[in-house]
């Protein structure tokens, strides 16, 4: 059985001492300060039509440390400050390559608090992790062991809005084995009524994690709105709102991890639809339900797990009319509003809308795999809209079911 060496991040929760929490908080603040200073310097240079690279900002950091105003930067690990300059360089690289927008300044309230350490900034011995500028190792909850003989190449420490501390260790894992090849293939149609519908006819219910906690979240948000700005009670109320959001996110990711792992283990080929979720959430009536379903996270997990274990994921063109195409005879039906859940083709075959779409996706995926060609629509729906856009637009009439 073939093996592959992949980079995997192992994330654990830890509980810092008061001294460690203070040191990490100082580090987060210095990281944010250096990032904003370097971004401001590069923005000013950009206005003068000058280019400033990582080496130039690294020299600036040395000069900043020598000033009286920024002398406190010497109190934290220099490794982390250099890393934030590398991250800024990467952000500009993506911007120049038109893969991302122009880098933004880090805000104390909105930015994720994190610090990344390379091998010179931490010590990992006998299963204990000690960061630079710290005398004691972190009190980590080892929910799962690291692979035998594997040591982290980088360590990222973060604190979420709910006040929880996490450490993420990036490792080169040489022991990831490809699963035994199988002839099984499955088409996967995502939705809101059911989270997934498989070409086998199986339907997986949508847990609707956000809706389950919606009343509790709304109450916490109302309490937060009534607190005086800048008060300790407002900070407590903000953490309560963050804890509810964290609870929803953790449940959602747990379900998606279990689903994607199961699908990858059972099937050699997995066919999905290439949806543009970023555009679909612009529909204000469905944005909350689509975001709660987390279709983008599902696809991301499916793709990287398939790459690990030697499976194949095929994305069929988003304009392919999977719902309106008869999986029995291939006839294309006319406009089909979203409230139509079953329909009968002229050949006499009666279809469940979602199961039929999954079967068509599987057939199209097999065609793509065989000839390497993309799947384009046979024709657009009336009015020039794609089939996907038509369904999302028509779904506004049934939002009460979401």
Q: What Å distances lie between residue 370 and 243, 255, 373, CA to CA?
A: 48, 32, 8
- What is the pairing mode between strands 165-177 and 3-14? antiparallel
Contacts of residue 22, defined as CB under 8 A and 6 or more positions apart, other chains included, come to none
3-state secondary structure of 13: strand
Annotation marks residue 189 as catalytic? yes
Q: How far apart are CA 26 and CA 302, in angstroms?
A: 38
Annotation marks residue 354 as catalytic? yes
Residue 13 CA, distance from chain mean position: 19
Could you say which of 23, 210, 240, 354 is catalytic?
354
Nearest to 378, CA basis, from 314, 326, 319: 319
Q: What Rg value do the Cα atoms of the chain yield, rounded?
A: 25
Q: How far apart are CA 149 and CA 186, in angstroms?
A: 37
Could you say which of 23, 116, 210, 273 is catalytic?
273
Annotation marks residue 173 as catalytic? no
Could you say which of 189, 210, 240, 292 is catalytic?
189
Q: How far apart are CA 61 and CA 81, in angstroms?
A: 8
3-state secondary structure of 323: coil
Structural tokens at position 279: 């555009």
- What is the pairing mode between strands 122-125 and 113-117? unpaired
Q: How far apart are CA 56 and CA 35, in angstroms?
A: 13
Sheet of strand 185-190, all strands in order from the earlier edge strand to the far edge: 203-205, 194-198, 185-190, 269-273, 312-316
Structural tokens at position 97: 């390559």
Task: List, by residue number, the catalytic residues.
Answer: 189, 273, 354
């Amino acid at each position: 059985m073939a093996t592959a060496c992949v980079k995997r991040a192992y994330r654990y929760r830890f509980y810092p001492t008061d001294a460690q929490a203070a040191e990490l908080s100082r580090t987060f603040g210095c990281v944010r300060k250096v990032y904003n200073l370097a971004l401001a310097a590069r923005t000013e240079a950009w206005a003068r039509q000058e280019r400033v690279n990582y080496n130039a900002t690294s020299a600036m950091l040395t000069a900043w440390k020598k000033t009286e105003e920024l002398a406190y930067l010497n109190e934290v690990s220099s490794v982390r400050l250099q890393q934030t300059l590398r991250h800024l360089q990467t952000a500009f690289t993506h911007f120049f390559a038109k893969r991302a927008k122009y880098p933004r300044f880090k805000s104390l309230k909105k930015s994720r608090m994190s610090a990344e350490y390379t091998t010179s900034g931490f010590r990992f011995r006998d299963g204990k992790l000690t960061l630079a500028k710290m005398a004691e190792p972190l009190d980590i909850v080892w929910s799962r062991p690291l692979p035998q003989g594997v040591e982290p190449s980088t360590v990222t420490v973060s604190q979420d809005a709910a006040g929880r501390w996490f450490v993420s260790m990036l490792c080169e894992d040489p022991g990831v084995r490809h699963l035994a090849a199988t002839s099984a293939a499955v088409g996967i149609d995502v939705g809101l009524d059911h989270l997934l519908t498989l070409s086998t006819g199986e339907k997986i219910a949508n847990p609707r994690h956000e809706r389950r906690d919606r009343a509790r979240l709304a109450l916490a948000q109302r309490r937060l709105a009534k607190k005086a700005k800048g008060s300790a009670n407002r900070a407590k109320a903000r953490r309560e709102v963050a804890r509810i959001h964290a609870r929803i996110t953790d449940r959602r990711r747990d379900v998606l991890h279990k689903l994607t792992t199961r699908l990858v283990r059972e099937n050699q080929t997995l066919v999905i639809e290439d949806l543009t979720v970023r555009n679909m959430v612009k529909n204000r009536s469905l944005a909350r339900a689509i975001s709660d379903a987390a279709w983008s996270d599902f696809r991301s997990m499916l793709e990287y797990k398939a790459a690990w274990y030697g499976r194949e994921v095929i994305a069929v063109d988003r304009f392919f009319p999977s719902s309106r195409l008869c999986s029995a005879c291939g006839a294309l039906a006319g406009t089909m509003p979203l409230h139509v859940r079953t329909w009968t083709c002229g050949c006499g075959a009666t279809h469940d809308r979602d199961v039929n779409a999954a079967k068509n996706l599987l057939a199209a995926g097999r065609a793509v795999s065989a000839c390497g060609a993309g799947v384009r629509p046979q024709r657009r729906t009336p009015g020039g809209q794609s089939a996907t856009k038509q369904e999302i637009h028509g779904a506004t009439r049934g939002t009460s079911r979401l």
